[in-house]
Structure 1
Amino acid sequence: MPEPRLGRPRSTAAHGAILAATRQLLAENGYAEVSMERVAARAGVGKQTVYRRWASKAPLVAEAVLSAYRSASTADLPDSGDLAADLTSWLSGYTAFLATPDNAALVRALAAAAADDPQDGETLYRQLTGPQHEAIRERFRRGVQAGQVRADADLEAAAEAVIGVTLYRMLTPGDPDRRFDGLVDVLIAGIRR
């Protein structure tokens, strides 16, 4: 049986205000300019309130970004029966979501947080991309069942390629609206029956 906590319970309102303040600072100034002190001031809480919840900036940024990211419905992958069209459609929508200035800043901040805390980098990546990765793998599995995809195709590698290109586009300069036709053609050619 767990022991009861001593002291006052943590405020969910303060927790939410801290996460929102972190996201605002990330969007305005980027990862390098976020500090525990600035977050506390923006959230209207004491510095100790922030430090009681997060030991350092990297886990704070990670939770702030992931909580916002999970609220968006980016894991819905269409299943029209045309795998190439479904992937192209999803990639275009997902990239459009990631390309908005606030979302782009958040994803870049999460990449910086992962680099700042290498032990947690893989965990952060999985938390960020897990639902989308699973949706893509599931769509590929249905493609196998429908005879569109080879049964021996490496579906894990194919899903990694799709997720990887979206993150690559976020982290590199250029036109976020570039088409994915070439990628989808190469990918489908590699897994098609």
Structure 2
Amino acid sequence: MPPLPTPSPIVPARARRKDDARHRRVCDAVRALVAEQGVHVSMDAVAARAGCSKQTLYARYGSRQALMAQVALDGMALARLPAMPTAPTLRPALLAFAQQHLDHLCRPSTIGAARLLTAQAQQFPQEVAELFVGWAGTLQGQLAAWLQQAMRRGLLKHDDPHCAAELLLGMIVGLDFDRQRHLAPHRSAPSERAQWASFAVDSFLRAFAPPCPLP
């Protein structure tokens, strides 16, 4: 099997605001179609569901892969992290990210899409793998860049930022997403997710605490 592509950069065909109504419709259309159809989401189907032309989609996003990456990034709690981590904002920012990420994973549409993609993986291994790399890779890469800024500012100890991002994501999610996928009891209450998010973030910050300065 050929190597999987790296996540596509988001094509800045036009400046898009988060409250762009058309962009919101496109994102909602893509998420709904993935939950219903899995990997085989065409630009024609997205255009029809969003109420626009396929030409408009290509003009705004450049390609299907870039569109999927943009939708993935747009739906991530990562977008709400401050541009530059500081000592006062480091823990609150990571805590908000963790809670929002867990809330996203708890949505029925997210669980439904994950189950469908898992079911399609054996029949369409390349397509499912590419979709995973595009979405999970985008999340890990963006989080790694943010953590790297924190490391450079001395807020976290210097280490591989991509490994740190993967570790943090694993700590945040734990086993709960697998519990949901397998219909097992999980942290369905927001208070339970908030408590776990706090535990995961504080554990991560202790593990990556910068070394104490020498006296």
**Alignment TM-score, normalising by the size of structure 1:** 0.57
Is residue 97 of structure 2 the alignment partner of residue 90 of structure 1?
yes
Between the aligned partners of 2:135 and 2:166, the Cα distance in structure 1 is 13
Map residues 1-193 of structure 1 onto 2, 5 A cutoff: 23=32, 26=35, 69-76=72-79, 77-78=81-82, 79=85, 81=87, 82-114=89-121, 116-120=123-127, 122-151=129-158, 153-164=159-170, 165-166=172-173, 168-173=175-180, 174-176=186-188, 177=190, 178=193, 179-193=196-210
How far the C-alpha of 1:144 sits from its partner, in A, is 1.1
> Identity over aligned residues, as a percent?
19
- The aligned length equals 151
Higher RCO structure, 1 or 2 (CA under 8 Å, sep 6+): 2
- Residue type of the partner of 1:162? L
The one-character-per-residue Cα deviations of 1:101-120 (angstroms, maximum 9, x if unpaired) are 12321233234434554445
Between the aligned partners of 1:142 and 1:22, the Cα distance in structure 2 is 31
Between the aligned partners of 1:21 and 1:155, the Cα distance in structure 2 is 30
Between the aligned partners of 2:174 and 2:123, the Cα distance in structure 1 is 18
Question: Contact 2:102–2:173 (CA<8 Å) still a contact in 1?
Answer: yes
5+ long unaligned stretches in structure 1? 1-18, 44-61
The one-character-per-residue Cα deviations of 1:131-172 (angstroms, maximum 9, x if unpaired) are 221221112111112211112x23222211233343853232
Per the alignment, do residues 115 and 137 of structure 1 end up closer, same or farther by CA in structure 2, a change over 3 Å counting? farther
How far the C-alpha of 1:25 sits from its partner, in A, is 8.8
How far the C-alpha of 1:84 sits from its partner, in A, is 2.6
Per the alignment, do residues 80 and 89 of structure 1 end up closer, same or farther by CA in structure 2, a change over 3 Å counting? farther
5+ long unaligned stretches in structure 2? 1-27, 49-64, 181-185, 211-215
Between the aligned partners of 2:142 and 2:68, the Cα distance in structure 1 is 20
Higher radius of gyration, 1 or 2:
1
The one-character-per-residue Cα deviations of 1:51-84 (angstroms, maximum 9, x if unpaired) are xxxxxxxxxxx9x987854552543123354323
Per the alignment, do residues 112 and 86 of structure 1 end up closer, same or farther by CA in structure 2, a change over 3 Å counting? farther
User: What root-mean-square deviation, in Å, do the aligned CA atoms of Structure 1 and Structure 2 show?
Assistant: 4.1
Greater shift in the superposed pair: 180-189 or 115-124: 115-124
The one-character-per-residue Cα deviations of 1:86-129 (angstroms, maximum 9, x if unpaired) are 21110111221232212321233234434554445543322112
Between the aligned partners of 2:169 and 2:146, the Cα distance in structure 1 is 14
